[in-house]
Amino acid sequence: MITAVYFWKVPSRVIPFALWSMAVDRRRLRSAQGISFAKMLGCGKGATFTPSDADIHRWGMLICIEDSQLEKFDSSPLVQRWRSRSSDEFRVLMQPISSHGQWSKREPFKVVVPEQEFSSKIVAITRARITWRKNLAFWKSVPPIAHSLRQSPGLISAIGVGEAPIGLQGTFSLWDSQESLKNFAYKSPAHKEAIMATSREKWFTEDLFARFQVKEIRGDL
């Protein structure tokens, strides 16, 4: 089983197709062979990680799929529809090395090999279902974390991701090494304060944090 993430950039004329596909492709993914978990994702520009950061020109998809089915899926009509309409495609293949929490009441990322030191790039995915009455307080806390993340040594790129404009939010970040990610996660004052605030304020009804070893990258994020 491998985790694949696609991001597509689309011109303005394709936005109606993207909005329509976000709905219908969810159903199509459920019937795709070899997929155990899948999400269609809206994206943010990665500047503030708040709803105002939404990027209607970039859309994404995450799947957990059997290795033997990946090539077939990559050339499937579903992917080809997005590919033929996009101006740019990014795809990353990766293996989970740690995962804590749930996504839609599931634990989608099965860790086969425990986390260990390796030299390849690393991806971090966070995802949270925000308690509705806590949305405003949560968004007020985000800018310091976003600023700290953007200034972190070793960060290659980071964008916001979500299944809905409000309430189901996450981040996708690509790092040059495990050490760089760990330095941000455990040494950044803003991030450490956010972890304490999350526990104190009970912002989330469900959350997940996962790390992945990058196996292959195609395109630019």
Quick: pLDDT tens for 9-55. Answer: 999 999 999 999 988 998 889 888 899 999 999 998 766 666 667 88
For residue range 91-130, list pLDDT tens digits in order: 999 999 999 888 988 899 988 776 666 778 999 998 888 7
State the pTM of this model: 0.87
User: DSSP characters for the chain?
Assistant: -EEEEEEEE--GGGHHHHHHHHHHHHHHHHTSTTEEEEEEEEEE-SSS-SGGGEEEEEEEEEEEE-HHHHHHHHTSHHHHHHHHH-SEEEEEEEEEEEEEE-BTTB-----SS-----SS-EEEEEEEEE-GGGHHHHHHHHHHHHHHHHT-TTEEEEEEEESSSSSEEEEEEEES-HHHHHHHHHH-HHHHHHHHHHHHHT-EEEEEEEEEEEEEEES--
pLDDT value, residue 211: 92
| Residue ranges of domains in the chain, CATH in brackets | 2-218 (3.30.70.100)
